[in-house]
Chain A
Amino acid sequence: MVTGILFETDCKNKLIVANRENVLKLLGYTDIVDEHVKELVIDLIQLSKANINPWGGFVLKQINKVVVPEGKIYIDDLFFEVNKTIAAQLRKAEYLAFFICTIGNSIERTSKEYLSKGDLLEGYIFDLIGSESAENLAEVVHQEVMEYAQSGGLQISNRYSPGYCNWDVSEQFKLFSLFPSEQIKIKLTDSALMNPIKSVSGIIGIGRDLKFKPYSCKLCSDEKCIYRNKK
């Protein structure tokens, strides 16, 4: 494993844009779908393709130790307070891949343009397409980390993000400190917000004896979480 340097992922050539069924689901439709809305979603997904400029990268770091009762993972001279749940899942990890990815701000801009023209539905759908695409991109980055790990005979974990599973979002500052700021396409603001908005960050464990496990959501009260009970 080559640690400490930025790997830029090859996401440009992978299909990232949101899928129609997911967008319709986010609009509230389950079985009966309004035909007009369905056609609009198809058209806007098509239009969005030119508006998605995916970029993603990851940095590998060797883990010094994972202390489950403290909920901490030690790396270099830093420690991440990921809390007990995440620490337990990563107990057997030898390396962590820190990743950040974004679809750029073009969709966001398009969404705002439509909203300010008064085309509320179109603006809203563009926003959903952006969110879904950002999630898809995180999945692509996850796959790339897996391929890299497997080429070295190692396994990977699920991915965990600051702001989820009781991991405080302010830990984004530590996460971003591991990236060479001049080479990345995301800025972290003073309030730990990533700009562009449609960006995702997180960690993925890597190790010989690591298993990919679903999130352990039984004890969590976050009913609105999109990862809830996701396999």
Chain B
Amino acid sequence: MEELLSKIAHCVEFGKVDKTAPYPPDMKGQEGADELTKQAIEQGIPAETILKEALVIGMDKVGVKFSEKKIFIPQMLMSAKAMNAAIEHLKPFFQSGEVKRKGKFIIATVQGDLHDIGKNLVKMSIEGAGWEVIDLGVDVKAEKVIASIEQNPGAIVGLSALLTTTMANMKNSVADIKAKYPESIVMVGGAPVSQGFCNEIGADFYAPDPQAAVAFLKAK
């Protein structure tokens, strides 16, 4: 069991998705996160063990190497893809409630803003850290976020904005969310957003990049 788990962690760390995937070149033809996770489940290894002792460990290593600038965004994205392939096999266990994820995270690009890519990178990293992410998309009104909190009590919220004009909508969204759910934790990000702005609008945390967001969630 140990060996299989460490093989899966290795596939996630190096972005080996499945047997047919050409990447990384030195693992060509070998089984990837997809096949190995399936085998692990067939062997009766608990899904929770696979998640925590293989997938999250692999992604942790990726996060460390990325912040040490030993790898770049492409490797991180390949790792996330391998992780997702493995997660597909764990989904039934999430749905049945057999495996609990670390928590729920609601993510949205604020009203009036259509930027998607930054939000998606954050979503991917947080999923990789073992959280369930509810992606509300772009141009999202505060009401929609509030409705989602209602359905997912205790979920942490992440808001993204890429223009100074839509930062005004971010401010209003945070105010609306806090008015309805004063206890909720709201994280903000996006190129023009700063720690100062985060303080000013009463959000709880500013993350300049996905790694900082994951570090914050880990401490939760």
Chain A residues engaging chain B, CB cutoff 8 angstroms: 27-29, 34-37, 111-112, 115, 118-121, 123-124, 127, 163, 168-170, 189-193, 195, 197, 224
**C-alpha spacing A112/B114, complex, angstroms:** 12
**C-alpha spacing A27/B74, complex, angstroms:** 7
Convert B16-38 into 0s and 1s, putting 1 for each residue whose CB lies closer than 8 angstroms to a CB of A: 00000011110000000000000
For residue B81, which residues in chain A have a CB less than 8 angstroms away from its CB?
118-121
For residue B73, which residues in chain A have a CB less than 8 angstroms away from its CB?
27-28, 124
Chain B residues engaging chain A, CB cutoff 8 angstroms: 22-25, 72-75, 77-78, 80-81, 84-85, 111-117, 120-121, 124, 163-166, 169, 191
**C-alpha spacing A111/B85, complex, angstroms:** 20
Which residue of the partner chain A has the closest CB to B69? A28
Judge whether A121 and B165 touch: CB under 8 Å.
Answer: no
Given contacts A29-B72, A123-B117, A193-B114, 4 further A-B contacts (CB under 8 A): A120-B124, A127-B117, A191-B112, A191-B169
For residue B23, which residues in chain A have a CB less than 8 angstroms away from its CB?
36
Given contacts A35-B25, A189-B112, A224-B191, contact A169 B77 (CB under 8 A): no
Judge whether B165 and A124 touch: CB under 8 Å.
Answer: no
Minimum-distance CB pairs A-B, first 4: A191-B112, A28-B72, A120-B77, A121-B77
Pick the contact of B163 from A112, A119, A169 — CB < 8 Å?
Answer: A169
For residue B115, which residues in chain A have a CB less than 8 angstroms away from its CB?
197
Which residue of the partner chain A has the closest CB to B208? A224
**C-alpha spacing A18/B112, complex, angstroms:** 28
The 22 sampled A-B contact pairs (Cβ below 8 Å) are A27-B73, A34-B75, A36-B25, A111-B117, A115-B120, A120-B77, A120-B80, A120-B81, A120-B124, A124-B117, A163-B163, A170-B164, A170-B165, A191-B112, A193-B112, A193-B113, A193-B114, A193-B163, A193-B165, A193-B166, A197-B114, A197-B115
For residue B169, which residues in chain A have a CB less than 8 angstroms away from its CB?
191
**C-alpha spacing A124/B84, complex, angstroms:** 16
For residue B163, which residues in chain A have a CB less than 8 angstroms away from its CB?
163, 169, 191-193
Judge whether A124 and B113 touch: CB under 8 Å.
Answer: no
Q: How far is the CB of A102 from chain B (nearest CB, A)?
A: 13
Which residue of the partner chain A has the closest CB to B22? A36
Judge whether A36 and B164 touch: CB under 8 Å.
Answer: no
Judge whether A191 and B166 touch: CB under 8 Å.
Answer: yes
**C-alpha spacing A29/B187, complex, angstroms:** 30
For residue B121, which residues in chain A have a CB less than 8 angstroms away from its CB?
124
Judge whether A168 and B84 touch: CB under 8 Å.
Answer: no
Q: How far is the CB of B73 from chain A (nearest CB, A)?
A: 6
Which residue of the partner chain A has the closest CB to B78? A121
For residue A189, which residues in chain B have a CB less than 8 angstroms away from its CB?
112, 114
